[in-house]
Structure 1
Amino acid sequence: MDTAGTDAYLDRIGARRPASPDAEALRALHLSHLRTVPFENLSIHLGEEIVLAEQPLLDKIVGARRGGFCYELNGAFAMLLGALGYDVELLSARVFGPDGQLGIPYDHLALRVRTTHGPWLADVGFGRHSHFPLRWDSRAEQTDPAGEFRIEETAEGDLDVLRNGSPQYRLEQRPRAYPDFEVGCWWNRTSPKSHFTRSLVCSRLTETGRITLSGRTLVTSTLDGGREERSLRADEVLAAYREHFGIVLDREPVVGGAGPSQTGTGAQGHRSEFRSG
């Protein structure tokens, strides 16, 4: 990513270029990203191609002011961090489903970011998750506005990430490259068993909680557990995307309305990646 692209990305998330790639700046960038770039799977239901490469990602997230799935969000965030001087590695994870079973390999993409203050787990692509990076080398409870998080080692050498005592996903510690994720991405983007081929979500963090548009249901939740749900009329949906997420669409995305694109790679869609508040 060149200087102009980096500056445009920072402007997109409302962040300043950090003086140095340190842990404090990483925390600020992480939170800014979550509050400005929504977690969404609209492309699947609009029949849009999703390509995991630098320019298409920047065109979508920065140019078109859209969001995306874990592969898009964490992939783009890794590019930004790399351009700012951070040491970033892409990691593969398998997500725990509601039945406690693990999803397919390469189910999720997360980031290990090394700073002078140690390594961190950064993840701006898991929907309802930690607001700030988690300390990679700590096995203690880590308090975050989104709950209590803990990283546990498994017998096989992987790491389980838990939120409020519930396992979220299992990380492999071996660094990966983008092409390693393509088969898993394709399955999640096209399989009828994929949660996100069967559902529609757009969500972002706010200063007071989270706002989510799932189909025509608008949910506003607060950090203290408050929740307000409202059903929108058909003529209110596009305005809601603009107002709450900055997304300008010419038509309403509908589950099954376009069908998943068969070209490109991306679109994470496993059944439990997003856990709406």
Structure 2
Amino acid sequence: MDESRVDAYLARIGVPRPAAPGIEALREIHRAHLMAVPFENLSIHLGQPIVLEEELLVAKIVDRRRGGFCYELNGALAALLTALGYRVTRLAARVFGGDRRPGLPFDHMALRVDVDGEPWLVDVGFGAFTHYPLRLAAREEQHDPGGAFLITPDGQYGDLDIHQDGNAEYRLDARPYELGDFRPNCWWHQTSPDSHFTRSLTCSRLTETGRVTLSGAKLIHTVGGERDEVPLESDAEILDAYRTHFGIVLDRVPVVANPPVPTG
């Protein structure tokens, strides 16, 4: 990423260029990214293919003023941090399901960022999660505005389980991967009727007081754990909500690609 693209990316998230790649700058970038760039899966429902190439991911966030899901958000952030002088490693994770078992390999992408010899977990692509990086080597509970986080080793393979408020969220593979390693699962999440991304619409970002989420035609403000839901009655209201709360300008309302089949 050249210097002009770095400056444009930093302007997108409202952060000045750091003097050096330190932990305080990383914390500022992490939170600012969550505040400015939404976690969203709209491309899937707009028929826009998601291609895991750094230039395209950065262009989507910086030029098109969009967000994305984990592969896009953490993939683009990895490019920015690397350009700023950070040592960045892409990590794969298996997300825990309702049965408390880890899901598919490469189901999620997170980042390891080493600062002054200390590894940090950086993740701006998991929705309502940590606001700041976590110490990857720490085994005591870490308190963050997003909750209480605990990282525990699992078994003999070096995997790490990431817990939020007592719930296991994902199992992290400590081995390094390239962006292209995530392409098969990125394609699966875009196309499979079994993927939760093809069965629902979401667009959500961190705010100063909580979160704002647009789920289909429902606008949700979450403040202090309390949810205020407002149904939107027309396409015009939905498009206005995308523009007002997320800075996303669309020419049509996304339609769920694979709506869930009723049972019972």
Q: TM-score range by the shorter chain?
A: over 0.9
Within-5 A mapping of 1:1-277: 1-116=1-116, 118-156=118-156, 157-222=158-223, 224-234=224-234, 235-256=236-257
Which consecutive unaligned segments of at least 5 residues does structure 2 have? 260-264
In structure 1, distance between residues paired with 2:85 and 2:167: 34
**Cα displacement string for residues 57-76 of structure 1 (whole angstroms, at most 9, x for unaligned residues):** 12210001000010000000
**Cα displacement string for residues 134-193 of structure 1 (whole angstroms, at most 9, x for unaligned residues):** 001100000001110010001132000000110000000000001111111121221111
Q: Evaluate the alpha carbon distance shift between residue 257 and residue 192 of structure 1 in structure 2; reply closer, same or farther with a 3 A threshold.
A: closer
In structure 2, distance between residues paired with 1:180 and 1:117: 26
Partner of 1:268: none
In structure 2, distance between residues paired with 1:231 and 1:48: 26
In structure 2, distance between residues paired with 1:178 and 1:256: 25
Offset at residue 257 of structure 1 (A):
8.1
**Cα displacement string for residues 96-115 of structure 1 (whole angstroms, at most 9, x for unaligned residues):** 01221221110000000000
Aligned Cα root-mean-square deviation (Å): 1.2
Offset at residue 21 of structure 1 (A):
0.4
In structure 2, distance between residues paired with 1:58 and 1:154: 34
Offset at residue 256 of structure 1 (A):
2.2
Question: Runs of at least 4 residues of structure 1 off by over 3 A?
Answer: none
Contact 2:205–2:211, Cα closer than 8 Å, also in 1: yes
Q: Evaluate the alpha carbon distance shift between residue 249 and residue 257 of structure 1 in structure 2; reply closer, same or farther with a 3 A threshold.
A: farther
AA partner of residue 102 (structure 2): L
AA partner of residue 253 (structure 2): E
SS in 1 for 2:197: helix
Higher relative contact order (CA 8 A, sep 6+): 1
**Cα displacement string for residues 85-128 of structure 1 (whole angstroms, at most 9, x for unaligned residues):** 00000000000012212211100000000001611000000001
SS in 2 for 1:159: strand
TM-score, structure 2 normalization: 0.95
SS in 1 for 2:89: strand
In structure 2, distance between residues paired with 1:58 and 1:175: 21
TM-score, structure 1 normalization: 0.91
Identity %: 60
SS in 2 for 1:137: coil
In structure 2, distance between residues paired with 1:54 and 1:145: 30
Offset at residue 239 of structure 1 (A):
0.3
Task: Tell me the number of residue pairs that the alignment of Structure 1 and Structure 2 aligns.
Answer: 257
In structure 1, distance between residues paired with 2:116 and 2:15: 21
AA partner of residue 197 (structure 2): F
In structure 2, distance between residues paired with 1:109 and 1:41: 15
